[in-house]
A and B are shown apart, each in its own frame.
Chain A
Amino acid sequence: MKKVNEIMNKVKIKTTINNRSYKLDVLPNQTLLNFLREELGLTGTKCGCEIGECGACTVLINGEAVNSCLVLVPQINGKEVLTVEGLSDGEQLHPLQKSFIEHGAVHCGFCTPGLLMTAKSLLDENPDPTEEEIRNAIAGNLCRCTGYIQVVEAVKNAAGEY
């Protein structure tokens, strides 16, 4: 990392996004959410409220679920970012993705990428969560369609395959 960054406009960063490394010159006054969608074309991450309340923009930074609407792009310098596009293994869907489809947990789908990422961070840390732990983990992901029941079932079921 450069010691003191004196560059006025753009900031040089190195980062890994979905297992690919990037060296980038970024404008600092944009959120990670906008950068992913507008500059990298990774539009799987959704833009809902932009104030940290809906969770549609959830991505993982170094394995932790965060709201990408509350991260400035230069803050991912040296970090690993995972978005929903990086969840599957090539054509092979992630167990969570399969389980969401099987349990009808995807209705309009707007909340799904965020929910998948939050659920992944939960299962990576706790492969056998209780219903309460699942509900607690996804409390920051709003879904206006499903009523959460299918989502909770889907996460529970995917946990079995972890």
Chain B
Amino acid sequence: MKPFEYKFSDKLDEILHILSQSGTDAKILAGGTDLLIELRRKPKVYPGVIVDISFVNELKGIFEDNNHITIKPLSTHTKIFKSDIIRKKAYLLSEATSQIGSLQIRNRGTVGGNIMNAAACADTVPPLIALNAEITLRSQNSVRSFKLNDFFIKPYKTKANPDEVLTEIKINCLPKDAKSTFIKLGRRNALSISRLSVAAVLQQDEDGKIIDARIVPGAAFPTWQRVVEAEQMLIGEKPGIELFRAAGAKVSEVMISYTGRRWSTEYKEPVIAALVRRALERCSI
């Protein structure tokens, strides 16, 4: 690794101060599972300063209040999938984090790093968007909030400035009777990077009619979003294989309207449709 200046503090205020003094070539370090690999690849713009936030306790923990859950960005994938609150009230996020990388990667990689790195295959993002996540970014002189689905510009590019730290992720608890899932398709079982994934939530009323539906594909669109066109088809209906198949086909159609047809479309078109159908089936059992 080429030399850099290393700075750290266990206080958020001091981190923000360091960042305000560091200029644009500073890079924040959390778990390092993306950043260290990038540094070794000798990126074109090599950071002059690494600002290590991994000691900041204020940025750790998962808290529940009043139908909301606040997830601090340094929560590791292991902490999230072991959290009772998440398992009970945001199940799909528990499912997604349990499948990330390997034990070693889950012990180290953080949800904040996953979001801020903004890789198309980031597995926490589709569930978080399905949970209507809002994030807070802080710099020395500003506090900004974004809906997570408005935060990404394109893969690896977000609306954050280099001196901003992601300090909080806030999600809505799922209603008690809602069911949710996250399915990812990799090339192999262990350590697989998502080729395609789907986060889904369904809620039915007493008569079995669907009253809430959320579908967020991962690694399919230029940026992540709920596929409202497909969700709308489900509202007011009762679950059924034909209905779910049609919703899957709709998601494919919408995907192609964004991405156009390219070399991978022949593969992605049927696969995303099948993943959506399967995810909806799981949510209706």
Whether a CB of chain B sits under 8 angstroms from the CB of A30 is: yes
Among B6, B101, B108, B190, max chain A CB count under 10 A is at B6
Whether a CB of chain B sits under 8 angstroms from the CB of A53 is: yes
**With A71-B108, A75-B52 as given contacts, are A11 and B103 in contact (CB-CB < 8 Å)?**
no
Quick one: which of A10-65 are within 8 Å of B by CB? 11, 27-31, 50-53, 55, 58, 64-65
**With A3-B9, A51-B37, A70-B32 as given contacts, are A29 and B3 in contact (CB-CB < 8 Å)?**
yes
Whether a CB of chain A sits under 8 angstroms from the CB of B105 is: yes
Interface code A108-147, partner B: CB below 8 Å = 1, 0 otherwise? 0000000000100110000000000000111111000000
**Interface contact A4-B14, CB-CB below 8 Å:** yes
Q: Nearest Cβ distance between residue B99 and chain A, in whole angstroms?
A: 10
**Interface contact A140-B55, CB-CB below 8 Å:** no
**Interface contact B32-A72, CB-CB below 8 Å:** yes
Q: Number of residues in A with C-beta < 8 Å to the partner?
A: 39
**Interface contact A50-B6, CB-CB below 8 Å:** no
**With A55-B104, A64-B78, A70-B36 as given contacts, are A140 and B190 in contact (CB-CB < 8 Å)?**
yes
**Could you list 16 further interchain pairs (A-B, Cβ under 8 angstroms) beyond the known A5-B8, A75-B52?**
A29-B3, A29-B6, A52-B33, A52-B101, A53-B191, A55-B102, A55-B104, A64-B107, A65-B103, A70-B32, A71-B32, A74-B52, A118-B103, A137-B103, A140-B190, A140-B191
Chain A residues engaging chain B, CB cutoff 8 angstroms: 1, 3-6, 8, 11, 27-31, 50-53, 55, 58, 64-67, 69-72, 74-75, 77-78, 118, 121-122, 136-141
